[in-house]
Amino acid sequence: MNTQQELAERLDAIRERLDNDDFLNNRGLGNEIGFYIFDYPPQFELMVRDYLALLVGRMAKLGRRFVHLNLFDEMLAMLQERKLLDKAFELEKKKGIDELAKALKGPLEQGRVAQHLVKKMDPAAQEFVLLSGLGQCWPLLRGHSLLNALHAYMGETPLVLFYPGRYNGLELYPFDLDTAEVSPANYYRAFQLVPHKRKFDTHN
């Protein structure tokens, strides 16, 4: 089975997983908060986006109470609210993404981002929350830091982060990089939403 076939099978398993009582009620997690990661090879980003659009429609038809937020859209909205969006585009064009990341470290501090997301998602009113679009935000937003910041707000509501890269149960590796995201301390333990049958090769 090639990487794309395995991903297709894992994507097809998501709906049943989200509809499962154990998932919805945080059972079997050893008293951990219900944080889940669905990691995938980044070259199949469009495939995952297309699937998510179908999934959101199906879950809505089933009457599930949930929110799906695109992190890139929310990041742009935050910058627009502070009238920083045009300046950010100009800075990236002139000096590159690294300088932009330094300049936006304050406005996009992960705690501020988490508070913005929580206002949009209202976790207590949802059965679960889906977050996607992280790849378009990286390195301005990072998976570990964002999940740490959201830890205090999610309560009993399960959260799923769709992650373009690899998750080994402890560390997140963005895209096809060999270096894990730097995270000083993880206040959460994230679980694989749909486990891999084998390790995927991001270069296939």
Per-residue pLDDT tens digits for 52-76: 999 999 999 999 999 999 999 999 9
**Helical residues (DSSP H) of 13-154, grouped into ranges:** 14-18, 21-24, 45-61, 71-81, 85-95, 97-103, 110-121, 134-137, 143-150
pLDDT confidence tier of residue 203, bands split at 50, 70 and 90: very low
Average pLDDT over every residue of 40-51:
96
**Whether the predicted pLDDT of 204 surpasses 60:** no
Average pLDDT over every residue of 169-194:
76
Domain chopping of the chain, boundaries: 3-192
User: 93-143: per-residue pLDDT in tens?
Assistant: 999 888 898 999 899 999 999 999 999 999 999 999 999 999 999 888 888
Q: Which residue has the tokens 């740490």?
A: 148
Exposed, middle or buried: residue 3 (CB in 10 Å: 0-12, 13-18, 19+)? Answer: middle
More confident residue, 160 or 30: 160
